[in-house]
Amino acid sequence: MCKIEKKVERKREMGGILKGESRGGVEKQLKGSKMKLWMIRATTSVLLWTCIVQLTAIGDTWGPRVLNVWPPCFNRESDAASSLVHDTLPSIPQRVLPPKRVYKNNGYLMVSCNGGLNQMRAAICDMVAIARYLNVTLIVPELDKSSFWADPSEFKDIFDVEHFITSLRDEVRILKELPPRLKRRVELGRVYSMPPISWSDISYYHNQILPLIQKYKVVQLNRTDSRLANNGQPLEIQKLRCRVNFSALRFTSQIEELGKRVIRLLRQNGPFLVLHLRYEMDMLAFSGCTQGCNEEEVEELTRMRYAYPWWKEKIINSDLKRKDGLCPLTPEETALTLRALDIDPSMQIYIAAGEIYGGERRMASLATAFPNLVRKETLLGASDLRFFQNHSSQMAALDYLVSLESDIFVPTYDGNMAKVVEGHRRFLGFKKTVLLDRRLLVDLIDQYTNGSLSWDEFSAAVKESHSDRMGGPVNRLVIPDRPKEEDYFYSNPEECLQIPSIDLLSST
């Protein structure tokens, strides 16, 4: 029958030899496994094929490294399956690869991502889901090398490409490159290239893109940001987006190792808060937010904004923008906010960011309020970071890993990194993410600094207004016809989250 049966048997054999476990625990486990077995029988007899595919898929994608931290996702069958795999894992020495999905290939999809790491990451998830749905072969996406960050890294420099390909093979075929004949055609420039329409439904890809792929055999999508709508997509598509994001996209072992080291160094000294302090030159030039900057800095930022033709907005009123909550918090505003939220002054604060604009001068109030400020550069030696130095995406990947693990995550701006980490932390069991209401905050801060609010009033107002903004379970905001304003799928992938109180299998 289904492979789950075999694993259950193995689990039983193991029942008695689990080291260091009390008998009560073993019995409870066995009872639990009977329940699970019953549930699995009921479901697998209907879904024999699905179950084989899913179990093996999960055995692989939920490999040993992630099993301890990642809660079950996807659907109920896989919940059961993953917990079984979890229990039996010590007896399975090598990973089981999922069987390949068999389908008639409709052609090849090439993808050139645009934007920073986290925007590209979301795009890769979308493109895998699209390729799967169209029954085409996806070529490992090309990353943006010409964006502001000018990072020459390839997909394989950042992500574990073998894992990406094999862990998704039960859904879609992915190749590192086109077959030779098509590759030659592309090298000669004979490839149909186009940007898909933003926020399209999957039906657009089916009705408009698939015929092109069938006609030309290979199509290249040359822009990828927000090309698939957040909402209204089939549940399978949403779940696949999550699966790519949370388990098929794994950083290279080099990045993961370094991330683990940083996390270990931080953990040695107790809990830590990651502050994604998006107070970097590009952000300020682009947004035109100059609160707290001196005249020379305002000029420098303005010059930079005019120098980049693709930053369309040139004339910006910083004060108005700030009052509308559209500016990243300054380091000074951030220090006041963290203090108002009663963050322990002795807490380690890891700054996940590049160079802070204005340097030490601007960081002074934050450093006074929270003396245990650290950054990757202070935790690691220069030699550790040498290979990363000129690769902003790899640096960002490192910050991403540390952000995921933190006890508290606080982004000062809702950029792509902030959003994806927020969603990932929800996925990891609604870990605390403080979602700052910047519009309200700057108003409170102004009232506090001009003396209309006392410290206690200010602090109480900040705490009160943020009590339900801690990254807990909420519904994703849907605004039909205004996709730009609704919540981003990846910041709250509701379809893939398991609400903590609902645990159908732990009733024994």
CA–CA separation, 211 and 208 (whole Å): 6
Closest-CA residue to 110 (of 187, 196, 179, 178): 178
Nearer to ligand NAG, 88 or 290 (CB): 290
Can you name the residues that pair with 90 across neighbouring β-strands? none
The least CB distance from residue 192 to ligand NAG, in Å, is 8
Q: Which residues contact 150 (CB under 8 A, 6 or more apart)?
A: 392
Q: Say whether 112 sits in a helix, a strand or coil.
A: strand
Contact criterion met (CB below 8 Å) for 199 and 291:
no
Distances (CA, A) of 316 to 16, 205, 286, 327, 357: 69, 37, 10, 11, 19
Q: Tell me the closest approach of the beta carbon of residue 423 to ligand NAG, in angstroms.
A: 2
Q: Which is nearer to ligand NAG, 363 or 395 (CB)?
A: 395
In whole angstroms, the minimum distance from the beta carbon of 404 to ligand NAG comes to 7
- Minimum Å gap between C-beta 156 and ligand NAG is 18
Which residues lie across from 221 on neighbouring strands?
111, 194
- CB of residue 134 vs ligand NAG: minimum separation in angstroms? 5
Determine contact, residues 399/116, Cβ cutoff 8 Å.
no
Distances from the Cα of 506 to the Cα of 26, 33, 80, 417, angstroms: 14, 10, 11, 34
**Which CB sits closer to ligand NAG, 305 or 424?**
424
Which residue type sits at 421?
V
**Parallel, antiparallel, or unpaired: how do β-strands 218-221 and 272-276 relate?**
unpaired
Q: What SS3 state is found at 274?
A: strand
Give min distance, CB of 492 to ligand NAG, in A.
Answer: 7
Q: Which is nearer to ligand NAG, 240 or 275 (by Cβ)?
A: 240
Is residue 202 within 8 A of residue 237, CB to CB? The reply is: yes
Between 12 and 323, CB nearer to ligand NAG: 323
Instruction: State the nearest-atom distance from the C-beta of 223 to ligand NAG, in Å.
Output: 5
Task: Please identify the residue of the shown chain whose CB is closest to the bound ligand NAG.
Answer: 423
In the complex, the smallest distance separating the C-beta of residue 106 from ligand NAG, rounded to whole angstroms, is 5
Q: 448: closest CA among 440, 78, 305?
A: 440
- 354 phi, psi to nearest 5 deg: -80, -145
Q: Which is nearer to ligand NAG, 103 or 308 (CB)?
A: 103
Residue 461 CB, nearest approach to ligand NAG (Å): 12
> Which residue, 211 or 500, has its beta carbon nearer to ligand NAG?
211
Report the residue number, 115 or 358, with the smaller CB distance to ligand NAG: 115
Q: How many CB atoms lie within 10 A of CB 180?
A: 8
Q: CB-wise, 36 or 376, nearer to ligand NAG?
A: 376
Between CA 303 and CA 300 the distance in angstroms is 5
Query: How far is C-alpha 319 from the chain's CA centre?
Result: 32
* β-bridge pairing 174-175 and 192-194: unpaired
Residues that bind ligand NAG (CB under 6 A): 103, 106, 121-122, 125, 134-135, 193-195, 222-223, 241-242, 245-246, 386, 389-390, 420-424, 443, 446-447, 450, 452, 490-491, 493, 496
d(CA 241, CA 418): 18
